[in-house]
């Protein structure tokens, strides 16, 4: 009965994730280029004493050392910038979940697992941000603006169950994978093979992170909860004794 309940919980988790991914609006914000008074981080009340050389999310028309037309570099740069923003949102959410791990299965194992996800995501942020800059586009760095532009959104503030945390992280990973495949396909069409190589490397590792999350959400477990106090089986598992000395 307990295994059946665990399977139901697992199936509901995966169904919820898949439903949210299916309903995901997977378009890029290619029209958001240059200063926008409605965008966080684009205006300030402080006196301006800086010399502006290039507006946000615009491309250097004179070139950047990469032999692609300016319109191609702009389109690829804007797509990559959205991936950059999404990775930053994912990083913030992973960090929160890393801080709040608790429970017998989570406090140690998931704490270290999320540590790895944080390290990998930080590396991917750097790789994607570097590619945006190399294409001659200004990457988005303001944290509020990043969340506004990102195609994934941070979960609502508060403490939730570890399954809720991981389910939300898995949903992020599936959406990131989906959007990166769209950019890779478009980059092939535009012959931007440098972006293809960067994103293919990142995508392969994001799929690995998604697999990690999927696996820990599976219903098999070493922790049986409190049911052994009440099931009359004297702490003996269904198929064999927990203690090998008990016959």
Q: Two tokens at 246?
A: 């008990």
37 against 219, higher pLDDT: 37
CB 86 within 8 A of CB 150: yes
What is the Cα–Cα distance from 221 to 2, expressed in whole angstroms? Answer: 11
How is residue 229 annotated by DSSP?
A: G
What is the Cα–Cα distance from 130 to 161, expressed in whole angstroms? Answer: 36
Q: What is the residue-wise DSSP string for 147-209?
A: HHH-SS-PPPSS---HHHHHHHHHHHHHHHHHHHHHHHHHHHHTT-HHHHHHHHHHHHHHHHH
The average confidence (pLDDT) of the chain is: 87
How is residue 127 annotated by DSSP?
A: H
Enumerate the H helices of the chain as residue ranges: 2-22, 70-99, 109-134, 143-149, 162-189, 193-216
Q: Mean pLDDT throughout 132-141?
A: 96
What is the Cα–Cα distance from 90 to 209, expressed in whole angstroms? Answer: 12
Q: Mean pLDDT throughout 9-37?
A: 82
Map residue 137 onto helix, strand or coil: strand
Q: Two tokens at 160?
A: 């939730």
pLDDT band (50, 70, 90) for residue 41: confident
Q: In this predicted structure, which of 18-22, 54-58, 114-118, 164-168 has the lowest mean pLDDT?
A: 18-22
Q: In this predicted structure, which of 60-74, 79-93, 113-127, 171-185 has the lowest mean pLDDT?
A: 60-74
CB under 8 Å to 107, separation ≥6 — which residues?
A: 101
Is residue 213 over pLDDT 90?
A: yes
């Amino acid at each position: 009965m307990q295994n059946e309940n665990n399977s139901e919980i697992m199936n509901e988790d995966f169904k919820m994730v898949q439903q949210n991914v299916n309903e995901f609006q997977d378009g890029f914000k290619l029209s958001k280029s240059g200063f926008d008074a409605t965008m966080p981080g684009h205006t300030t009340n402080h006196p301006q004493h800086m010399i502006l050389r290039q507006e946000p999310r615009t491309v250097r028309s004179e070139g950047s050392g990469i032999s692609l037309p300016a319109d191609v570099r702009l389109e690829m740069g804007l797509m990559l910038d959205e991936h950059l923003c999404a990775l930053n949102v994912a990083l913030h959410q992973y960090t929160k979940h890393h801080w709040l791990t608790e429970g017998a299965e989570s406090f140690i194992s998931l704490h270290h697992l999320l540590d790895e996800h944080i390290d990998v995501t930080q590396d991917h942020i750097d790789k994607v941000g570097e590619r945006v800059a190399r294409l001659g586009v200004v990457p988005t760095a303001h944290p509020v603006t990043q969340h506004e532009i990102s195609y994934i959104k941070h979960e609502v503030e508060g403490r939730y169950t570890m399954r809720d945390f991981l389910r939300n992280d898995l949903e992020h990973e599936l959406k990131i994978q989906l959007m990166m495949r769209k950019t890779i396909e478009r980059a092939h069409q535009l012959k931007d093979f440098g972006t293809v190589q960067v994103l293919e490397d990142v995508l392969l590792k994001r799929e690995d992170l998604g697999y990690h999350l999927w696996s820990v959400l599976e219903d098999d477990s070493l922790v049986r909860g409190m049911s052994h106090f009440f099931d009359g089986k004297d702490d003996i598992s269904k198929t064999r004794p927990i203690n090998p000395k008990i016959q």
